[in-house]
Every structure is written in C-alpha cells, then in structure tokens.
Structure 1
C-alpha cells in the first residue's frame, strides 16, 4: 500500500523514502515548491522525477531522471529550466533530440556548416583555403608535381583535429598537433591555428552550437608554441632580369610565359591576375579591372608590353590566362614552369609571390612614389593621407607604371613591336 501522503507536498528525502509502489500501474505525486515537478512510482518500485507542463494547449510530460541519480535540488532546477523553454514556446523534446544529433557529430560537420555560411563573405581564395584544410585526401594529382612528390593528395592539414568530437578537442590535443606539425611546416601551422581559433569563436557564439563549447579560449595564446615567422625576401635583382626573361620566354606554354612576365610587370597577386577575364580588359583606354582582396576591385593601367603579351593569347574561354584542363577555367599551376625557368637561367629560388615583391623593389629604381606603386599593387593604404587625401587618376598611375615597365624591359634587353595609343 502507498504511504498516506497527499498528491501534492513539499519534496524532502524522508517523505520520498516513505512512498511505496502502487499495486498496479503507476502513481504520481507533485512538488508543492516547484510547479510542474513530480515523482512517478511504478508498481515495481522504480521512482523517477518528471516534469509536466502545457504547450500549445497540450500537456507534455518529460522524464528527468531516477530519484537515485538526481537530488531534489537538481530535479527542481531542471524542472524550472524546462518550464522556461516551454513558456517560450519551445518543445524540450525537440531540443533534446537536436542536441543529441549535434553531440554525435564530429567537429568536421560543424566546420563544414561554418565555411558554407561564411563562403559569401570570404574571398573565393580564402574559402578554398578553409576547404583545403579539411579535405579527405587520397585524390590523384595528375599534374603540377614537384620532384619526389607523391601523386596522392594529402588529407587536410586540420583534419586530425576536425575528426574529433567537441569533447575530445582539448587544449592538450591542439598542443600535441602543433608540436608534430611545426617542425616541418611552421607557417602553415600558424595559419591553420588562426583558422581554428576563428572557428571556435564562431561556434561559441552560434545559438545552435554554443553549448558544444565548454571553453572557447582553449586555443588562445598558443602562438607562443610556434617559431616566430621569418618574412621571405626572394626577389629578382635588376642584373638578373635579362636571364630571367630570356628563360621565361622559352617556356613552351605561351599562356604560362605571358602570365609570369605580366605578373612581374604588374605586381599583382597570383590568383587575382590568373583569374583576369577578357571582359575586364579595356584596350581602348588601356586599363584592366582586377578583383582585389582589399577593395573588391581596382583599376590598373595596361602598359604596352603587358597589353602586347595579352593580345597574343588565344581566346579559349572567358579568362585571359585560360586553361582547358583546370576546373576553374584559368591557369592554376605556373610554379613548376617557373622553377624550371629559374634552373635553366641559373637563378636562385623564387616564389610566385616573389615576382610581386620584385615589382615593388624594381619600382624604386625609377624613384616611383611609394604610394603609387602600392596603389598599382593593391596594397591597403597605411597612412591617413593615403586613405583620405590621395585620389590618383589612372593617367598618373599610367605615367609611373610605364616608366617602371620601360626600366625593367631595358634591363632585360627586350624589344617588341609597339602599337601607337588610340
């Protein structure tokens, strides 16, 4: 028989212990202190806390947990939290299912949702960098291989961490990953860590995922675990220009040869120049519109030799430096051809970005104002005067850009048939 207690009373340990199981079915008693909190006793003597409320005109009942596993205070607190959700029109059963589904997912699943949401705000290159960090790996590379390089694409640099669940992704795991990778690829490790930190901040502020992050600072102050980055200084000297141009002009693929030469002569970034479209070229006013990562687009002069190189290229598709084998439709891998040209000319190692650095350096030989070469290259203005008081017309940029090109071509002993300007 049940102990004679009213259906509603203030829960205490002694009172709950006095409750006996019913002869059949179940019996429910309610807490006088916490609305909606009850205790259910089955005929087998199992006692469990429950929460009952009304949502959209219907009664919903949830099991909180066994009396042996929950204290009265914990059950009362849980019942209040459930009541708040229901008062807001949220069904706790649905939220619990969502939470369970999310908790069973790896960090990679949320990472993919993160980069998909950010894709529209990021540059295409930055989005691809994030996708590259999390790729599966195993794909066959058919071209663009360096000597002794495997033709199997490696898995993403961050993939070992992204394959974990959020409760496994700890500061200790990140430090262990840093220790392993920083020896051979310190710069890439620094970039990947910055991406991971930004992702954790986004997750901790997202309404659907923030409960997954216990500590959103576990990636902070880990840069000290990495060596201080050393800036690259690879750059062509003026006495090397004749050898460099002579070798690059011998590259069999005309598109690559024109791309590398014009990249040096414009100081543009690798991707923004490679993705240049024919529709961005104006041969009447001799200008080119470049998709800039700082200001979205910028207009630069189309100097005579650069225009000569571009005009000699076949129109295969929408892109000036087109590639029929690239998925993007434009040139993707000029690095191997550049390495071979440097080897033929007996010149030291030079990166693709080193050509951009070379333009800025060579511009000083003609005493070009730093602000003008920076504007041509698409550098972000660094001084108040540059930001607010310098609105240089294209003709002023053209004057200095042509002077820079003439100097470089003179040092390289290059002569070409020029067309008179319209």
Structure 2
C-alpha cells in the first residue's frame, strides 16, 4: 500500500465506482475516491467488534498533511478506547440551528458553498446571508435541534418573519444602524437561504431530508414599476438643477449612468476605469452578479463617462469624495433626487427596469434586452462579442437616446412595438441592421 501524499490523491481515479486507498505508513488512514472523481480523507478502525469509519474532510480544503495529523489524533483516541464515530454521530444529532448556521458560513468562507452558475458565493452575498441568519433565522430557530425541525416549524418561521416578529433596529458600528423589517419579500428570501443551509446539512448527513421542501412561500412582490415619460422629464430637470446648484458630481453622474445603461447599482459604484472601453463602446465588467460580463454603451452614456474628471484622479469611475474608496453616498443622493423630482421610489432597480422597458418599447427582443442588462442566461462574454457587438451597441444607443430624450423633453420612444407581421419585421430590422453610432453630444 502506498503512502498518502498530495501527488497520490490528485492522481487517484475512481475506476467507475467509489474506491478506497489505504496508507502503508499510518495503518487505518486512507482516502475515498468517489465516482465523481473527488477524494476525501478518512480513518477506519474496529470498536466493540464493529468496523467504523470517520471522514476527516475533502481534499482541497484539507491537505494531505493536515489530514495525516488529524488521523493520528483520531487513531490515538481509538487506542485509548474511545469511539470517534459514535461521538460524531451524537454531536450531529444534538446540533442546533445556530451551530449549523455557523458551520455553513465557515464552509462558505472556504468556497465550499456554491451560488449561481456553480461558483462559490461572493463576499457581498455572504454579507447578506449573515444578516439574514443573525436577524431572522437564529432569533426564531437558533435553539432548535436541526434533526427536530419539521415542515410545520419552517412554515411557522415563514409566517413569523412575514408579520414582522423579527423587526428591530440593530446598531452597527459606532454610529450606524440597520433597520430590520419583515414582510413577504424578506420571508421568501430568508426561507430560501434556510433551505440552502438545510440542504448543506443533508449533504453532511446531519439530517435525512430537507424540511423546507414543500413549504409555501409568500409572493416576493417583485417590483415591476417603470418610469413614465413625465417622470423621466422630472428626473432630468432635477439632475440639471442639482448640477447647477453645486450637487456633488458623483451623485448626478451615478443617476445618469444608471438611467442610460440599465446597469445594477453595484456595477456602477464598483466600476473602474480599467473596465471602461470607450473606443469599442463597452463596459468589460470583471465581477458582476453573473460573473465577468460585457455591456454595450450607447452614445449618451459614453458622453457622460467622457465628461467625468480625469482618470488619473482615481481607479474608480465614481470615486469617494474623500480618500481612495469608491463613492458611498448613493442612498442619500437617491433620497435627495426623489424629493426634488417627486419620483416616488426612485432607485437603481427602477432605473434599470425603465431602461429595459424602453428597449422593449423600441421593439427589441427579450434576448437582446437580457444581453444589454446582463441577465442570467443572456450575459455576453468575449467568446461571442465579435458577432453581437454592433447589434448590441446599436440597441444600447437607441435605448439610451430614447431615455435621454424623455429626460430632456418628456417624450416617449418614437417607435413603439407593433403587433402582427409588420411589427415583427420592424423589430427584426431594428436588431439586425446596425446603424452608425452618432457622435456623443
């Protein structure tokens, strides 16, 4: 039998089914090669006439040397008459929801919890997860044993979050605070996270089944409102007034870019000059919600970027007012412009949805709009950009121009989507015959 080393583990093959390889240097220590190709470290021993196994961890997060040290400790306890497998099973049976959540977050920090597209969850996603765990899951379910949770308990948890049982004002830092609210949307998203945590528990054999399955979730109240032409105009006048009255340029530029690109708030706030390609009319986002993503820039959006202060001042397109960080006054800026313009609920999502709706008014298809907005399943990568850039840039240009005209004059898009064959032909022509991108104003 060979010695268990990093090289041996990485070269091990499943041969069509799970197989075990044992170490000749440390008897009882070995690896399990799964049919999928992944490997885990384990020990095997006999106790009270029975063969027992204890898994140490998966190769990758656990190295061969760390696994060997853990194996020596576990086998030493076996030599003293202990039964680590039984102790582990007892601990799992007694694990509380709080302990499970903590274990889940540790695994997520190591990149073992996958998010969208099979990629490890991002830091900002884990930040939100932690907030939901600390402010909703632990207060209502933290002391419960994981193995005792039932679907009825989870359904009660959903109702409690929905009616605001966990609502509170939580102090964050020296002067900050977080206002925790309930509601249907919060309940739906939090029980979704709970389902993921309990799926992790199932994969770790802590529970045999996930009690979240089958639980009824409240409607998430997805926001579908868009800006009307008169609201676009009111916002445009508010921005002009702000620029004339000394409003910080980062605030007005933020709203202009959101309105003229349809990008998410985080994509504009975190945008760096290295991701802006004005020559090819593109934003090459290195880390959007859907991963790396390419977005077309219309002429009006390019004009906003070209008018911003010199790039030598900061790596960020919208730098902070003080220091080298990105701009962080977006919340107060939205509140100020909402009050001045009278546009209720002004925010990044409303501007993004309005950009997409304007594109739909112009006759563009869902796939084209999805590519402009970076929707899941429609994200454009460098593999395809040579085939689609002119079409998408033309679409982004026409859409941004329509939004800009609405903000200047209150007029809606000049071309509305039409029904029937004539309308379909007009929409197809708009998407397949690019026109010359105009010179930015």
TM-score (norm 1): 0.63
- Aligned-residue Cα RMSD (Å) equals 3.7
Aligned 8 A contact 1:273 1:290 in 2: no
Point out the structure with max Rg over C-alpha. Answer: 1
Task: Decide whether the 8 Å contact of 1:107 with 1:166 is kept in 2.
Answer: no
Kindly report which structure 2 residues correspond to 1:256-295, keeping only aligned pairs within 5 A, or say none: 256-291=251-286, 295=290
Alignment deviations for residues 313-369 of structure 1 (CA, whole Å, 9 cap, x no partner)? 465543222336799x33455233223312212223233211111001112343334
Offset at residue 243 of structure 1 (A): 0.9
Deviation at residue 419 of structure 1 after TM alignment: 10
Between Structure 1 and Structure 2, the one with more helix by share is 2
Residue 185 (structure 1) aligns with: 183
Which residue number corresponds to residue 235 of structure 1? 226
SS at match of 1:297: strand
Tell me the distance in 2 between the aligned counterparts of 1:268 and 1:351: 12
In structure 1, the residue matched to 2:402 is: 407
How far apart are 1:222 and its partner, in Å? 1.6
- CA–CA separation in structure 1 for the residues paired with 2:100 and 2:52: 29
Residue 322 of structure 1 pairs with residue 319 of structure 2: yes
Give the match's secondary structure for 1:134.
Answer: helix
Give the drift of 1:218.
1.8
1:175 lines up with 2:175 in the alignment:
no
The 1:308/1:218 distance shift into structure 2, 3 A limit, reads: same
- Residue 221 of structure 2 aligns to a residue whose secondary structure is coil
Which of 37, 48, 54 is the matching residue for 1:79? 48
Larger displacement relative to structure 2 (96-105 or 119-128): 96-105
1:93 partnered with 2:83: yes
How far, CA to CA, are the matches of 2:295 and 2:88 in structure 1? Answer: 52
Q: Is the 8 A contact 2:101 2:197 kept in 1?
A: no
Matched residues in 1 for 2:296 and 2:322: separation?
A: 30
User: 2-side partners of 1:175 and 1:321: how far apart?
Assistant: 44
Count of paired positions: 310
Matches within 5 A, 1:389-400: 392-400=387-395
Q: Does the residue aligned with 2:136 lie in a helix, a strand or coil?
A: coil
Contact map agreement 1:107 1:164 (CA 8 A) in 2: no
With over 3 angstroms needed to count, the CA separation of the structure-2 counterparts of 1:293 and 1:300, relative to structure 1, is: closer
**1:123 aligned partner:** 122
- In 2, Cα distance between the equivalents of 1:389 and 1:257? 33
Aligned counterparts of 1:331 and 1:296: Cα–Cα separation in 2: 22
Is the partner of 1:319 in helix, strand or coil?
Answer: coil
**Contact preservation (8 Å) 1:292, 1:378:** no
Q: Deviations over 1:32-85 (max 9, x none)?
A: xxxxxxxxxxxxxxxxxxxxxxx959xxxxxxxxxxxxxxxxxxxx834x4344
- Distance apart, 1:407 and its partner CA: 1.9
Question: In the alignment, is residue 132 of structure 1 matched against residue 131 of structure 2?
Answer: yes
**Contact conserved, 1:290 with 1:297, CA < 8 A, in 2?**
yes
Q: Secondary structure at the match of 2:104?
A: helix
Deviations 1:236-271 (A, max 9, x none): 112321211221341722212211211111111222
Gap change, CA 1:169 and 1:353, over 3 Å in 2: farther
> Where in structure 2 are the equivalents of 1:16-415 lying within 5 Å?
79-80=48-49, 82-85=50-53, 91=78, 93-96=83-86, 98=88, 103=94, 106-116=99-109, 117-118=112-113, 121-135=120-134, 156-161=135-140, 163-164=142-143, 166-167=145-146, 170-171=149-150, 172-183=152-163, 184-206=182-204, 210=205, 212-213=206-207, 215-223=208-216, 226-249=217-240, 250=242, 252-291=247-286, 295-311=290-306, 312-313=308-309, 315=311, 316-323=313-320, 329-332=325-328, 334-381=330-377, 392-413=387-408
Q: Which runs of 5+ in 1 are unaligned?
A: 1-54, 58-77, 136-155, 383-387
SS at match of 1:158: helix
Q: CA deviation at 1:191?
A: 0.9
Aligned mates of 1:380, 1:302 — CA distance in 2: 19
